[in-house]
Structure 1
Amino acid sequence: MDTGAIDPLTLRAAARYRRKSLGQLKRLVFTSVGLVWSAGRRLFVGLIVLQLAAAGLLVAQVLAVRSVLQAILALNEHADTSRVVVPIIVLAILTGLSSICSSFQTQLQRLLGEHVARAMWNRVLGVSTTVSLRHFESSEFFNQLSRVQMSALSRPYQVTQGLLSMAGALVASVALGAALFTLAPVLLPLVAIGGVPVLLASRRESRLEFDFSVKQTPALRLRSYFGLLQLGRDEAKEVRSLGLGPWLTGRFNDLYAAYLTDLGDHVRRRTSLSVLGQLGAAVVLGATLTVMIWLISRGSLDIAGAGAALVAIRMLTTQVQLVFRGAQSVFESGLFLDDLDDFLALGAQALEEDRGAEAPDGFQTIRVGGVTFSYPESPRPALCGVDLELNAGEIVALVGENGSGKTTLAKIIAGLYEPTAGSIRWDDHDLSEFSPSSVRERVTVVFQDFVRFALTGTENIAAGRIGMPIDPERVRFAARSAGAERALDGLPNGFDTILSRMFSGGHDLSGGQWQRVALARSFYRDAPLVILDEPTASLDPRAEHDLFTTLRAALRGRTALFISHRFATVRGADRIYVMHEGKVVEQGTHAELIREEGRYAELYRLQSTVRVGMADS
């Protein structure tokens, strides 16, 4: 799926095409019921039983009303109050049971809704953590993800709830219809017709709701972003130092004002449709009651029967509208679930893309040959015909100015991106022969913008290989190798201290200490290839020198690709590749590159001059 090719107009057109298909509706119903059944089958069965019980209680109340009215009329003739007591007690009991049943339904619906929400979150999170990294370069992917989070996650339950409501209302309608038929058969088709205007209005409302959601998604994402900028811990210092608060709030309010304007128009359109539907239903109801009065005037319906018929009509009208509202819920949710299905299909695609043999546990040589890569929606390639070689046990440096393609190349070597052209070979095998997940298992990457988990020090390090039980000794050894052991031991609870002030009892680390924890995470993973993307960015010059001089010992024979824009840091690398504008322009040892008097030598001397100047000042 090419996420960059989707736009809201295309999505709306596809939705309109799909909603015409009865097969699509059947699939929607079976899929949603299956999901709800697997998420909470006991709760689901309980709700069905309660729906049936509620329908039976409605019919019983109609009959009880008739009995009460008959007893009251009989009271006028015989003055015997005992004949009224029992029907009234029965009606009261039935009314109480109906209320109790409704209360149980509400609570079971809440429980079942949470079970379904958890199941849907698991599916959505499974997709978002397994799809190719290229999707995260597409704005439409984030639009789709946002729609899924805001609307589609709750829709499978709403479909099932709509179906339950329809089923219960249908059962009640049949029972009430049978009761009304025994009282006045001619009234029954009039009550049924009363639901048609509601159905027609509801269908149009559903289409409006989906179109509104699709149209508003980009603006809602942008508004949420401006909100997060004012709430985030990492952004707080810069927001205050630059005085951005009023400006950010202004942008947030402008976006919200535009949304409220559009929402007002949308609500007015939906309300107008709803009013038209209800007015149509009211007209039909008025006609039904007029016919009932005509029947009474002719003597075809007695007073007790008329009273019971009036209650039956009111109840039946409500149930018929519930049937059509349930249909609306299914129809409206179906439009959102089509969108959800498209998103979940990315997970199936990711599983399909992950096929292949298991990557070997090690390698003698990794060869990058003619690799070219372009980001989605980017006008020019990030890499152009790159060649590079990594031999087992080597420390290879990749240097260049910012934007030269170093990190992109690292992601491709790590199996996070597939090259647009060219190949990566592990010994005699093309990387494409192996499943991407098995390749990633054999590579560990420390990115410059590594994640600082608000977890304990132990968990931050053990995240390097979280699929196995945490080994405290191995965690400590990794921390020692990265130079993080002393900093973690100095915390109040040592390695078990939460490394964030977001939670009670937590403590934060300095940038350099965090960088060492990230390095320890990579060492704990114990992969044959280690990629270090600017691993010394937060370290002072002495710590930077110490890290690189001890790196070979810490790697213990593993291969390392060391990425840096600081040329002095990588002098001891076995081989250095110099990148510029997505190409490798030079390669060799430090001494060889200095002798060549090329780009590396020029930038090395320039950086050395800057460092000396800064030291003198």
Structure 2
Amino acid sequence: MTVNGATDATGEQDPPAHGLRDLLRAVAFATRLNWRSGRLLTIVTVGAQLLAAVLLAAGVLAAAQWFEILLAALQGRVPVGEAVRTGLPFLTILAVRAIAAQGGQLAAARLGGRVGVAAQAQVLAAAARTRLIAFQDPRLFDRLHRANLGAAQADTLAQQAAGIISAAMSIAAAAGAVVTLSPLMALLIPASLAPQIITEVINIRYRYRATAALVPDQRRADYLHGLQVMPASAKELRAYQATGWLADRWRPLATHLADAQWRIGLRVQLRDMAARAVSTVLFFAVVAAGIAFMGPTAGAATAAIYALLHLRGQTAALITMSSTLQASGMFLADLAALAADRSTAEPQGGAAPEPLRTLRLRAAGFRYPGAGADALTGIDLDLHAGQVVALVGENGSGKTTLAMLVAALYRPTCGTITWNDADTATLDPHQVRARIAWAFQDFTRYAFTLSDNITLGPDGDPARLRQATAAGRLQTMLQTLPHGLATLLNRQYGGQVDLSGGQWQRLAIARAFYRRPDLLILDEPTAALDPAAEQHLFRTLARHHSGTVLLITHRIHSVTFADHIYVLHQGRIAEHGTHEQLIAANGHYTRMYDTGAGD
């Protein structure tokens, strides 16, 4: 589904109605995850389940023979020693089956943790390849939430499928023993469980749809809960004494979710109880009728009852595992679909860009998905190598959105963007971004070391780190840190330091300078800086960066040195030129300058 040139996040409003094909794909997806996470562990887990099934079949057949001899021994017709010897195979099978089951459980527990990590990695990979514009659609977050629910169950799905095979084999073995008493009973016993089977199918689909429908409210409740426990919001909530107000907003929503889950569970439970009651009555009616009318020997009857109980137990287990498989499979199908979906993915491939000489926007426009109007219209803009270009305008005029187009984070809805005369639509967006660095206005404060906060990568270059810290004016602060560049900048995770707002902004500037980009985008770079730090930044631009700079700021008096200035107003370029040209034009820029906008 496409909205104004941008593919939306999901293509559906409601949770998908998964069918048998989706379930089979989910099982195959889980099987691949298990296999990649540990081949030997997968073989041991599945093999142990199948071995247990084979041993159960052998145990049922051995039990039939032993019960006859055991009854004969109790009646004095067979020596006790012979009865004991006859029972050894049966007892041995029971012991080996118990060991196999325990070994399978241990292997499954070991494998489960690895599969869970692999499944979560699939969610993260899907999120990483999703175009940034898709994150404007709340349905993407609903889809990711459902995929996370599937990831939490991925470790058991392939095992459940193997368990179903194991239960089916056990049913076949038990049915074989019952056939010797009455073929009709062998058919009627599983049929007596039909009410449970039908009810489980109904419950599974109901639970999935009802649970998936709660996902938006659950995400909202998680958000409200997180605000109350995360340090980023703790200061403001206490300063405004808003903790109680926030708790009062969270509590009714959390209560609503708890009540909704209870109602879902109650409805499922009532259906299940009724179905089990009917199935139990039918089962014992079939058993009583069979024994009464068939008239077997005591030993045969005992063996038959033993086989019947196993048949019922394994059939019930098969129903339970099948329902669990389907219930888990529906959410895992969401994960499998997300992992396979490329409709919102970043385009792959394309030519590698050359070093930037000129970047041009021509008649570029942009509209956010679902918006009623364009955020940008008819944008013509030129960035030449070595220039400092300023972008100014009121709040909401579209400055940051325009910068997103320049940085190849958004694609224009209309018009073109060229990099050295090559349309950026034909270039590899990842390689384009590798030549661009952005000091964001709303930069992220990572709970990492100072070095990792600057490099955002595994291997920091010492020389580039020194230059970046100088560009960000961090040397004085660096001398005060207990572990220098290796200092963890977050008390929440055991660090000893939290930086001030201005220090974090200088760090964000150093993060951008570290990349030595062709194009440096500075979005409100001086908002948290004092005048001395602001002047230092602008001197640094001249001394440390020889490439192109796009400077976005409200402080209009700070851009007078720029080579070219663009004035953005209501999503359009109102005027552009040098500072002197714009002042002489006595237009929008002059009015902003005279009023000291942003200063």
TM-score normalised over the length of structure 2: 0.93
Corresponding residue to 1:452 among 445, 448, 466: 445
> 2: distance between equivalents of 1:309 and 1:285?
14
Give the total of aligned pairs.
594
Corresponding residue to 1:324 among 312, 319, 323: 319
Corresponding residue to 1:406 among 399, 403, 419: 399
> 1: distance between equivalents of 2:511 and 2:128?
19
Quote the residue 2:559 is aligned against.
570
Seq. identity, %: 34
Corresponding residue to 1:424 among 395, 417, 427: 417
Q: In the alignment, does 2:256 pair up with 1:258? A: yes
TM-superposed CA distance for 1:164, in Å, is 0.9
Q: In the alignment, does 2:520 pair up with 1:530? A: yes
Query: Partner letter of residue 291 of structure 1?
Result: A
> 2: distance between equivalents of 1:266 and 1:43?
36
> 2: distance between equivalents of 1:5 and 1:62?
54
Quote the residue 1:364 is aligned against.
357
Corresponding residue to 1:606 among 561, 575, 595: 595
TM-superposed CA distance for 1:65, in Å, is 4.1
> 1: distance between equivalents of 2:232 and 2:181?
71
TM-superposed CA distance for 1:24, in Å, is 4.5
Sort the Cα spacing of 1:45 and 1:343 in 2 relative to 1 into closer, same or farther, 3 A: same
> 2: distance between equivalents of 1:26 and 1:493?
53
Query: Partner letter of residue 390 of structure 1?
Result: L
Quote the residue 2:286 is aligned against.
288
> 2: distance between equivalents of 1:189 and 1:346?
44
Sort the Cα spacing of 1:155 and 1:39 in 2 relative to 1 into closer, same or farther, 3 A: same
> 2: distance between equivalents of 1:342 and 1:405?
35
Query: Partner letter of residue 490 of structure 2?
Result: S
TM-superposed CA distance for 1:421, in Å, is 1.0
TM-superposed CA distance for 1:482, in Å, is 1.9
TM-superposed CA distance for 1:87, in Å, is 5.2
1:107-138 Cα distance to aligned partner (Å, 9 max, x none):
22222222222222222111111211111111
> 1: distance between equivalents of 2:495 and 2:423?
49
Sort the Cα spacing of 1:394 and 1:27 in 2 relative to 1 into closer, same or farther, 3 A: same
Judge conservation of contact 2:63–2:90 (CA < 8 Å) in 1.
Answer: yes
TM-superposed CA distance for 1:91, in Å, is 4.9
Quote the residue 2:122 is aligned against.
123
TM-superposed CA distance for 1:323, in Å, is 2.3
Query: Partner letter of residue 368 of structure 2?
Result: Y
Judge conservation of contact 2:392–2:568 (CA < 8 Å) in 1.
Answer: yes
Judge conservation of contact 1:180–1:309 (CA < 8 Å) in 2.
Answer: yes
Query: Partner letter of residue 501 of structure 2?
Result: G
Please state whether the residue corresponding to 2:75 is helix, strand or coil: helix
Please state whether the residue corresponding to 1:350 is helix, strand or coil: coil
Please state whether the residue corresponding to 1:565 is helix, strand or coil: coil
Quote the residue 2:111 is aligned against.
112
Please state whether the residue corresponding to 1:397 is helix, strand or coil: strand
Corresponding residue to 1:469 among 459, 465, 473: 459
Corresponding residue to 1:249 among 244, 247, 250: 247
Query: Partner letter of residue 358 of structure 1?
Result: A
> 1: distance between equivalents of 2:369 and 2:184?
65
Quote the residue 1:132 is aligned against.
131
Correspondences of 1:378-393 after superposition (within 5 Å): 378-393=371-386
TM-superposed CA distance for 1:156, in Å, is 4.1
> 2: distance between equivalents of 1:587 and 1:305?
99
Correspondences of 1:4-15 after superposition (within 5 Å): 4=8, 10-12=13-15, 14-15=16-17
Judge conservation of contact 2:360–2:381 (CA < 8 Å) in 1.
Answer: yes
Quote the residue 1:614 is aligned against.
none
Pairwise CA RMSD = 2.3
TM-superposed CA distance for 1:316, in Å, is 1.2
Please state whether the residue corresponding to 1:368 is helix, strand or coil: strand
> 1: distance between equivalents of 2:46 and 2:493?
43
Please state whether the residue corresponding to 2:596 is helix, strand or coil: helix
Please state whether the residue corresponding to 1:11 is helix, strand or coil: coil
> 2: distance between equivalents of 1:273 and 1:146?
28
Judge conservation of contact 2:214–2:257 (CA < 8 Å) in 1.
Answer: yes
| More moved, 79-88 vs 172-181 | 79-88
Unaligned segments of structure 2, at least 5 residues: none
> 2: distance between equivalents of 1:316 and 1:398?
76
Q: In the alignment, does 2:306 pair up with 1:311? A: yes
Q: In the alignment, does 2:543 pair up with 1:544? A: no
Quote the residue 1:615 is aligned against.
none
> 1: distance between equivalents of 2:107 and 2:581?
74
TM-superposed CA distance for 1:62, in Å, is 3.1
Judge conservation of contact 2:25–2:333 (CA < 8 Å) in 1.
Answer: no
1:377-436 Cα distance to aligned partner (Å, 9 max, x none):
222211111111111011111111211111111111000000111111122211111121
| More moved, 280-289 vs 435-444 | 280-289
> 2: distance between equivalents of 1:349 and 1:603?
40
Query: Partner letter of residue 354 of structure 1?
Result: Q
Please state whether the residue corresponding to 2:183 is helix, strand or coil: coil
Please state whether the residue corresponding to 2:409 is helix, strand or coil: coil
Quote the residue 2:147 is aligned against.
148
TM-superposed CA distance for 1:59, in Å, is 3.0
TM-superposed CA distance for 1:321, in Å, is 2.0
Query: Partner letter of residue 58 of structure 1?
Result: L
> 2: distance between equivalents of 1:241 and 1:88?
77
Judge conservation of contact 1:400–1:406 (CA < 8 Å) in 2.
Answer: yes
Sort the Cα spacing of 1:153 and 1:25 in 2 relative to 1 into closer, same or farther, 3 A: closer
> 2: distance between equivalents of 1:270 and 1:152?
20
Please state whether the residue corresponding to 2:490 is helix, strand or coil: coil
> 2: distance between equivalents of 1:446 and 1:336?
39
Q: In the alignment, does 2:574 pair up with 1:585? A: yes
1:164-193 Cα distance to aligned partner (Å, 9 max, x none):
111000111112222222344342112221
> 2: distance between equivalents of 1:288 and 1:46?
38
Judge conservation of contact 1:195–1:281 (CA < 8 Å) in 2.
Answer: yes
TM-superposed CA distance for 1:96, in Å, is 3.7
Quote the residue 1:442 is aligned against.
435
TM-score normalised over the length of structure 1: 0.91
> 1: distance between equivalents of 2:528 and 2:247?
32
> 1: distance between equivalents of 2:195 and 2:134?
44
Quote the residue 1:395 is aligned against.
388
| More moved, 471-480 vs 446-455 | 471-480
Query: Partner letter of residue 205 of structure 1?
Result: N
Judge conservation of contact 2:9–2:344 (CA < 8 Å) in 1.
Answer: no
Sort the Cα spacing of 1:5 and 1:450 in 2 relative to 1 into closer, same or farther, 3 A: closer
Query: Partner letter of residue 303 of structure 1?
Result: A
TM-superposed CA distance for 1:324, in Å, is 2.6
Sort the Cα spacing of 1:593 and 1:462 in 2 relative to 1 into closer, same or farther, 3 A: same
| More moved, 269-278 vs 161-170 | 269-278
> 1: distance between equivalents of 2:28 and 2:338?
19
Query: Partner letter of residue 327 of structure 1?
Result: S
Please state whether the residue corresponding to 2:550 is helix, strand or coil: strand
| More moved, 54-63 vs 570-579 | 54-63
Corresponding residue to 2:55 among 54, 57, 60: 57
Q: In the alignment, does 2:299 pair up with 1:339? A: no
> 1: distance between equivalents of 2:585 and 2:271?
78
Query: Partner letter of residue 182 of structure 1?
Result: T
1:227-277 Cα distance to aligned partner (Å, 9 max, x none):
011011110011111111122112211011211222222112211221233
